Amino acid sequence: MTEVIQFKTSDKEKASIVFNIRQRVFVDEQHVSREEEYDEYEDESMHYMLLVEKSPAGTARWRFTNYGIKLERFAVLPEFRKSGHGTLLLKKVLEDVIPFKKPIYLHAQVAAMNLYSRAGFKPEGDLFWEANIPHYKMRFNPE
């Protein structure tokens, strides 16, 4: 069974679990500095935890910005990748933010662009580097 739980960082237990996932994926695996990974937007963001057979497997967050709604910090642990779990997580986040009727965008790592493209995101602008990783801005364009 797979489920996605939504929460705020005031739920310290869930926050600790997803921060551990982000530590493993972004800091340990991708060598992003802790200072870049954990930012001032944690408390204002809506966070998600992906559970596969009750085991924490992934996370994401979104927040309001001056440009709309920014989806961020999508991370799935290596042992749960390539099995549709990232798509499930992305669909749940989109389901929750579409009703706000605001522009939806994200900064996609080049390696993850196919995941976002399949969900209806389109790249815009030039390649840029964030946390020493190549990215493109992608905007959600519902079909």
pLDDT digits 0-9 by tens, 29-60: 999 988 889 899 999 999 999 999 999 999 99
Rounded distance between C-alpha atoms, residue 95 and residue 130, angstroms:
27
Average pLDDT over residues 98-102: 95
What percent of the chain has a predicted confidence (pLDDT) above 70? 99
Per-residue pLDDT tens for 54-97? 999 999 999 999 999 999 999 999 999 988 999 999 999 999 99
pLDDT of the residue at 143:
60
Domain ranges of the chain: 2-140
Helix (H) or strand (E) holding 21: helix 12-22
pLDDT of the residue at 141:
82
Per-residue exposure over 24-33, b if at least 16 CB sit within 10 Å of its own CB, e if not: ebbbeeeebe
pLDDT of the residue at 142:
72
Q: Rounded to two decimals, what is the model's pTM?
A: 0.94
**Architecture label for domain 2-140:** 3-Layer(aba) Sandwich (3.40)
Closest CA to 87 of 61, 121, 116, 129: 116
Amino acid occupying residue 137:
K
Let me know: does 76 contact 58? Beta carbons within 8 Å: yes
pLDDT of the residue at 53:
94
pLDDT of the residue at 7:
97
Let me know: does 137 contact 125? Beta carbons within 8 Å: yes
